[in-house]
Amino acid sequence: MKNLSRRRLLRNVAMGAAISSHGFVDVARAKVVGPPTPSPTNILLVGNGGDFRDLRDAVTFLQSAPTGQASPTVIQLLPGVYDADIELATLGLTLRGSGSRATILEGSGAAALRLNNHNITVESLGIRVHTTNGSEAAITSISSTLGVYLSDLRIEVTGPGAAVQNMNWSSYEAHDLRVITEGVGIDTRGFFRVYGLNLSLFGYNSGWPHIGVRHKGGRFWCFGGWVGTGYQSDYDGLARVDYEVFGADDPVVGFWIPDDANDNTRLQLYNVESFCRNEDTIVPALPVNCVRLEGSGAWARLFSCMMQAETPSNWNLTESIWNSTDSKVESYGSRITSINGDTFGGAALGVQTFSVSNDGFVMDKWEGGLHRCDASDGPFTIKLVYKLNAPQRGIGEEKHFVKVQAPKTTSREFIPKEGKGGIRVESCH
């Protein structure tokens, strides 16, 4: 089909039909099933009874069209199973299936779909891939693209790879995304918005991390969804027993900004539930978290979320929120079972720890909630701000100050105790 325009394609099909009527078989054009009809909506049908049986042939046909010539902008996949390993490089192309359980792309190794142009849409498909390393994925951007749109997709990944990979600062928008992965769900460095995410992690002594969203730079927004492992629950129609993770060398993290992320990477979650559990965690350094921030200046905001991390063998090894000293977590109306580090809440419960190293600290408007004050190493002063020209600053916030002392063995367990010095809270005008 190389360098075959649509007009020439129609002419060749007509010739093939004429030859066939005289008893000859046009073997060279066996891929074409019936004469394709010109469509005012520029839809190219692929599958049994379509313009092409093979998806690769349809993609090659579009990419070989002469510059400036009108060509189909939609590839419609009829129900069936198709080989993956396809590069989509046509500007404004839509790849549309007949439903996420009716049209399936299957592949192994490299990405099933490689996106290499702007304004590409992939919708109503199921994708099943087996990955052999962490750099492989079901869908990946191989260049910086503007406007990648995903909708009504069901992606199943075995191995350490990802379902969706965006490492080139591309801009993604996804709706109704269902992911079942043994490795990573969404691996991104760029800008990614998802509306409706259902992401399940599973694995049995695999020896690699199980991560819902690994965000390495830019911004990530999730509006509604569920991310994490199951709790002795069954798969929905798959042969696997459940969505659990079991393995002493298998970290489990719902949303992760790693230490190699770009500075000031942001994560915003709205109405998201995350339940992360490892059935066999015995290694103290192994993370099991719903949200984990390691990157410098990493910032997560949670709005009406539920976060619960568990390890039944040792509950002290998990934190639903794990926050480094260089990162920041804001929580608004969320239910969080355990926290390592500080969180901040405006009109919501936050948790923050102060010591002599914070002497003279001026609290900002979002720093409401419980404030643990450890004066074991000496006295310090915390200042509250009120400005007449900015009355919203510090107004209407509920703050609780509790004097505590942290045992030397851990930074997470605080007990009420008198320290060596006092604590003073004063107004700062």
Instruction: State which of 286, 317, 343 marks the end of a domain.
Output: 343
d(CA 85, CA 110): 7
Quick check: is 225 in a domain?
yes
**Two tokens, residue 327:** 């990162």
| pLDDT tens-digit series, residues 356-384 | 888 988 877 667 677 888 888 888 888 87
Mean pLDDT over 213-235 rounds to 85
Mean pLDDT over 331-343 rounds to 83
| pLDDT tens-digit series, residues 69-82 | 556 689 999 999 99
391, pLDDT greater than 50: no
Same domain (yes/no): 315, 206: yes
Quick check: is 145 in a domain?
no
4, pLDDT greater than 60: no
Same domain (yes/no): 419, 273: no
| pLDDT tens-digit series, residues 82-138 | 988 899 998 899 999 999 999 999 987 667 899 999 999 999 999 999 999 988 999
Q: What is the pLDDT of residue 259?
A: 92
Same domain (yes/no): 275, 382: no
- Share the mean pLDDT of the chain: 78
Helix (H) or strand (E) holding 39: none
Whole-Å CA distances, 399 to 42, 295, 396, 402, 404: 61, 28, 10, 10, 16
Quick check: is 283 in a domain?
yes
**Two tokens, residue 194:** 């998802």
Helix (H) or strand (E) holding 56: helix 55-63
Same domain (yes/no): 413, 281: no
Q: How many domains does the chain have?
A: 2
Burial track 195-233 (b if 16+ CB lie within 10 A, e otherwise): bbbebbbbbeebebbbbbbbbbbbbbbbbebbbbbbeee
Instruction: State which of 317, 343, 369 marks the end of a domain.
Output: 343
| Beta-strand runs (E) in 119-262 | 120-130, 137-141, 148-158, 162-166, 171-181, 184-201, 203-204, 210-228, 245-246, 252-257
Helix (H) or strand (E) holding 182: none
Q: What is the pLDDT of residue 85?
A: 87
Same domain (yes/no): 371, 254: no
Q: What is the pLDDT of residue 382?
A: 86
d(CA 185, CA 221): 14
Listing DSSP states for 263-301 in one string gives TT-EEEEEEEEEEEEBTT---TT--EEEEEE-STT-EEE
Same domain (yes/no): 355, 252: no
Same domain (yes/no): 390, 302: no
246, pLDDT greater than 90: no
Q: What is the pLDDT of residue 237?
A: 43
Task: Name the least confident of 46-50, 295-299, 384-388.
Answer: 384-388
Quick check: is 329 in a domain?
yes
Q: Give the length of the chain.
A: 429
DSSP 8-state symbol, 93 = -
| pLDDT class of 37 with cuts at 50, 70, 90 | very low
Same domain (yes/no): 307, 412: no
Q: What is the pLDDT of residue 218?
A: 96
Q: What is the pLDDT of residue 312?
A: 75
Same domain (yes/no): 355, 338: no
Same domain (yes/no): 232, 324: yes
Q: What is the pLDDT of residue 177?
A: 97
d(CA 391, CA 396): 10
Q: What is the pLDDT of residue 372?
A: 83
Q: What is the pLDDT of residue 13?
A: 36
Rounded to the nearest angstrom, the gap between the alpha carbon of residue 410 and the centroid of all alpha carbons in its chain is 32
Mean pLDDT over 233-260 rounds to 73
Quick check: is 199 in a domain?
yes
Listing DSSP states for 340-393 in one string gives ES--BBSSS--EEEE-GGGTTEEE-TTBBEEEEEE-TT--EEEEEE-BTTBTTT
Q: What is the pLDDT of residue 104?
A: 96
Quick check: is 40 in a domain?
no
Quick check: is 11 in a domain?
no
| Beta strands across the sheet bearing 361-363 | 361-363, 380-385, 423-428
Q: 336, 253, 275: which is closest to 301 by C-alpha?
A: 336
387, pLDDT greater than 80: no
Q: 130, 35, 128: which is closest to 82 by C-alpha?
A: 128
**Two tokens, residue 419:** 């320290």
Quick check: is 149 in a domain?
no
Greater pLDDT, 71 or 293: 293
| pLDDT tens-digit series, residues 410-425 | 444 444 444 444 556 5
25, pLDDT greater than 50: no
| pLDDT class of 260 with cuts at 50, 70, 90 | very high
Same domain (yes/no): 251, 339: yes
18, pLDDT greater than 80: no
| pLDDT class of 317 with cuts at 50, 70, 90 | low
Q: By residue range, what is the domain housing residue 325?
A: 182-343
Same domain (yes/no): 376, 410: yes
Instruction: State which of 343, 362, 393 marks the end of a domain.
Output: 343
160, pLDDT greater than 60: yes
